[in-house]
Amino acid sequence: MQTFNYLRPAHLDELCQALQQPHAKIVAGGTDVLPQMHTGRLQPALLVDISRVSELEGIRIHNTQVEIGALTTFAAIQAHPTLRAAAPALTQAAQWVGAPMTRQRATLGGNLANASPAADAVPPLMIYNAEVTLTSAKGSRSLPLAQFLLGPGQTALQRGEFIQSVRFELPAEDLGSAFLKIGPRRGMTIAIVSAAAAVRLSPEGRLEQVRVAVGASAPTVIRCPQTENLLHGQLPSAELWQSAAQQIAVEISPIDDVRASRAYRRRAAGVLAVRALQAALSQAQEAAQARTV
């Protein structure tokens, strides 16, 4: 591996100070940064290792507010009982990140900072309307995820800033949600297409609070507002799902790449998003039944 200067701050103030230096690259779990450094694709002059900044670690839940520190690993997210019960799309996405060894090291902050259109954590966080808190020596600011992710590998992070945490409102019990992903292999798969969906059922059995996010099908993960509008207030039916799949194919802008063709992605994104919606719906139905019992 090439040479670099190395700093390992132990606290937030030391981290803010380290990031004042030019050309600082942050490393946390190393599962994205180190493969690129091994090949020489990434050659940072200064590597700031944040893995010891304990203030950035952990999942905190106050009332209905969830705050997940940037250093929290996917293994920790996957194992968290409250998230599993109330935000299962995020748990399911965490289960799909890399392989067990990856999940022990890979962090939520790294998944966001890497800004891959295929990032597993992003579709669920988008349907939970998550915000990202960015901190620097000057202070903190919060951005909706859609404003943080600007394009492949591009984020709103400015020089000196780092991701402190991700926050979202813990979904109500009657909101069903799910995440699905298509790839060639169970472990270490970069999504060809991914989708997260949330929905609740009105007392009359109509779809409400419909949220759909699709990954690896546009320069960033995107919400599909036209599909959400199309579904809102409707009674679920085979025809409705078919038109939803068609609407998703229109809303995304996939590309041809080594993993799949644009045409395949258009088709698969619609099918996958509808499956995610149906999984979210059956969960919402269970919640509705539990209420009436």
Partner 1 sequence: MKPIEITLTVNETTHTLITLPNRTLLDILREDLGLTGAKNGCESGECGACTVLMNGAAVNACLVLAGQADGCTVETIEGLSKSGQLHPIQQAFVDAGAVQCGFCIPGMVMASKALLDHNPQPQEEDIRQALAGNICRCTGYTKIIQAVQMAAEELRHD
What is the contact surface with partner 1 in residues (CB under 8 A)?
Answer: 1-6, 8, 27, 29-31, 34-35, 38-39, 47, 49, 51, 75, 98-102, 104-105, 185-188
Q: Which is nearer to partner 1, 38 or 232 (CB)?
A: 38
Residue 197 and residue 276 in contact, taking contact as beta carbons nearer than 8 Å: yes
Q: Which residue has the tokens 């779809």?
A: 207
Return d(Cα 272, Cα 265) in angstroms, integer: 10
Q: Which is nearer to partner 1, 1 or 293 (CB)?
A: 1
CB of 31 to partner 1, least distance (A): 6
Residue 206 and residue 235 in contact, taking contact as beta carbons nearer than 8 Å: yes
CB of 122 to partner 1, least distance (A): 20
Return d(Cα 26, Cα 39) in angstroms, integer: 18
CB of 36 to partner 1, least distance (A): 9
Q: Which residue has the tokens 């539990």?
A: 290
Q: Which two tokens stand for residue 24?
A: 């600082």
Q: Which is nearer to partner 1, 66 or 118 (CB)?
A: 118
DSSP of 8-23:
--SSHHHHHHHTTSTT
Q: Which is nearer to partner 1, 102 or 285 (CB)?
A: 102
CB of 37 to partner 1, least distance (A): 8
Residue 68 and residue 59 in contact, taking contact as beta carbons nearer than 8 Å: yes
Q: Which is nearer to partner 1, 148 or 162 (CB)?
A: 162
What's the one-letter identity of residue 244? A
CB of 79 to partner 1, least distance (A): 10
